Amino acid sequence: MEFSNYKNANNTDNIRKNIKIKDRLILSLDVPNRTEALEVLKKADNRISTIKVGLELIYNEGLGIVDLVKKSGYKVMLDAKLMDIPNTIAGAVRGISNLDASIITLHTFGGSSMIRTANDALALLSQQKNKNKPLFFGVTVLTSLDDNDLESFGFNIKYMDLVLNMAKIGIESGIDGIVCSPNEVGLLRKNLGKNFLIATPGIRLTEERTADQKRINTPEKAIRDGADFIIVGRSIIKSGDIKNTIELFLGKIESEVLNDKNC
């Protein structure tokens, strides 16, 4: 699948029509160093198309890890979680544009002006380089947080409502996709429609322990409710058989895609 910028529901539909099953599972490369990263990439055997590179690996190995992933035959979801004043984010985007990532994340808590500035800056840079603009996905509320955490922060709102509010701000500001837990996917589709993509971390098989994420659910539930991509890290990497576990997840995704009108 070729990711590209879009501005309306028809283009979103075109993206969805071109999403293959292997595109829908994004492997989060939750390892601390280059050696372990290479091992995981090799064992994954290009059964999926996109690898999420996050803060742990970036700060341990540097941004050169992005090129390593691409040279291994994968697209990159750069989980930068950008959030700062608009001018600073515009400067960061100029650097990030050189990495040729397919998806970049930012925090919707940065606000509408930040999101628009980032999107406009990246669109201009991509146009100048005659390349498709990477997709911007907005993180709403981290899956490690729940209502108790929000209350301790001073929020007088439940996480479901906060996720909805942040997603709405992101979509109205021109963002391409939303990152939320699988438990909020149905809510977002019901209230905000289909003119945006959804990627969901916090995915676990029924028999798994939850670890440090509180708002979790199964891959079947996420896809059934309207998620376009599911993001899985440790459940695959720590499984002992990376390739077969990837196939297990892909099988569950495919079963739901074939039977779910949301897809």
Domain ranges of the chain: 9-259
Cα separations in angstroms, 55 against 28, 65, 183, 260: 11, 11, 24, 34
Instruction: Tell me what pLDDT residue 100 has.
Output: 94
| C-alpha torsion 222→225→229→235, nearest 10 | 0
User: What local confidence, expressed as pLDDT, does residue 224 receive?
Assistant: 93
74: left (phi over 0), alpha (psi -120 to 50) or beta: beta
For the chain, residues with pLDDT lower than 50 are: 4-10, 212, 262
Strand partners, 178: 138, 198
Rounded Cα–Cα distance for residues 98 and 217 (Å): 35
Question: What pLDDT shows up at residue 190?
Answer: 96
| CATH tag, 9-259 | 3.20.20.70
Helix (H) or strand (E) holding 71: helix 64-71
Rounded to whole angstroms, how far apart are CA atoms 242 and 218? 18
pLDDT, tens only, 185-211: 999 999 999 999 999 998 877 655 555
Task: State yes or no: is 7 an active-site residue.
Answer: no
Tokens 């930040």 -> residue: 114
3-state DSSP call for residue 94? helix
| Among 22, 81, 194, 243, the one annotated catalytic | 81
